[in-house]
Amino acid sequence: MTAPENLNAVDAAEMMRRFAHRQRSRLVVEIDIDPVPGWGDNAEDHRRLVESLLSEAVPHYNPTVEVAQ
Protein backbone atom coordinates (compact mmCIF):
# COMPACT_ATOMS: atom_id res chain seq x y z
CA MET A 1 0.00 0.00 0.00
CA THR A 2 1.24 3.47 -0.84
CA ALA A 3 1.95 5.83 2.05
CA PRO A 4 -0.79 8.50 2.30
CA GLU A 5 1.65 11.33 1.62
CA ASN A 6 2.66 9.66 -1.71
CA LEU A 7 -0.85 9.14 -3.11
CA ASN A 8 -1.90 10.82 -6.32
CA ALA A 9 -5.34 12.45 -6.50
CA VAL A 10 -7.02 9.41 -8.08
CA ASP A 11 -5.62 6.99 -5.49
CA ALA A 12 -6.49 9.35 -2.62
CA ALA A 13 -10.07 9.65 -3.90
CA GLU A 14 -10.34 5.84 -4.12
CA MET A 15 -9.05 5.46 -0.56
CA MET A 16 -11.58 8.00 0.74
CA ARG A 17 -14.39 6.22 -1.16
CA ARG A 18 -13.50 2.91 0.49
CA PHE A 19 -13.34 4.50 3.95
CA ALA A 20 -16.66 6.29 3.48
CA HIS A 21 -18.45 3.01 2.70
CA ARG A 22 -17.17 0.87 5.53
CA GLN A 23 -18.88 -2.36 6.31
CA ARG A 24 -20.11 -2.98 9.83
CA SER A 25 -19.97 -6.14 11.90
CA ARG A 26 -22.75 -7.35 14.15
CA LEU A 27 -21.97 -9.34 17.27
CA VAL A 28 -24.44 -11.30 19.34
CA VAL A 29 -23.91 -11.25 23.11
CA GLU A 30 -26.10 -13.01 25.65
CA ILE A 31 -26.02 -11.99 29.31
CA ASP A 32 -28.09 -13.41 32.14
CA ILE A 33 -30.44 -10.84 33.66
CA ASP A 34 -30.07 -10.51 37.42
CA PRO A 35 -33.26 -11.69 39.17
CA VAL A 36 -32.54 -9.40 42.13
CA PRO A 37 -33.81 -5.82 41.70
CA GLY A 38 -31.03 -3.29 41.13
CA TRP A 39 -28.30 -2.82 38.53
CA GLY A 40 -28.30 -5.63 35.97
CA ASP A 41 -31.95 -6.59 36.36
CA ASN A 42 -32.77 -5.29 32.88
CA ALA A 43 -31.28 -5.44 29.39
CA GLU A 44 -30.71 -1.67 29.15
CA ASP A 45 -28.16 -1.77 32.01
CA HIS A 46 -26.12 -4.32 30.08
CA ARG A 47 -26.51 -2.46 26.78
CA ARG A 48 -25.15 0.74 28.31
CA LEU A 49 -22.24 -1.13 29.90
CA VAL A 50 -21.18 -2.88 26.68
CA GLU A 51 -21.53 0.29 24.62
CA SER A 52 -19.49 2.22 27.19
CA LEU A 53 -16.72 -0.38 27.21
CA LEU A 54 -16.53 -0.48 23.42
CA SER A 55 -16.63 3.31 23.11
CA GLU A 56 -13.77 3.59 25.56
CA ALA A 57 -11.70 0.88 23.85
CA VAL A 58 -12.31 1.68 20.17
CA PRO A 59 -14.13 5.02 19.81
CA HIS A 60 -12.86 5.51 16.24
CA TYR A 61 -14.96 2.52 15.11
CA ASN A 62 -18.21 4.21 16.28
CA PRO A 63 -19.60 1.25 18.24
CA THR A 64 -23.31 1.18 18.96
CA VAL A 65 -25.17 -1.41 20.97
CA GLU A 66 -28.87 -2.12 20.84
CA VAL A 67 -31.10 -4.61 22.62
CA ALA A 68 -32.69 -7.22 20.35
CA GLN A 69 -36.20 -8.27 21.23
pTM, two decimal places = 0.67
CA distance 65 to 57: 14
Mean pLDDT score, 3-7: 72
Q: What's the pLDDT score for residue 1?
A: 56
pLDDT digits (tens, 9 = 90+) for 19-67: 777 788 899 999 999 999 999 999 999 999 999 999 999 998 889 999 9
Higher pLDDT, 61 or 15: 61
CA distance 59 to 52: 10
Q: Where are the domains of the chain?
A: 24-69
Q: What's the pLDDT score for residue 2?
A: 61
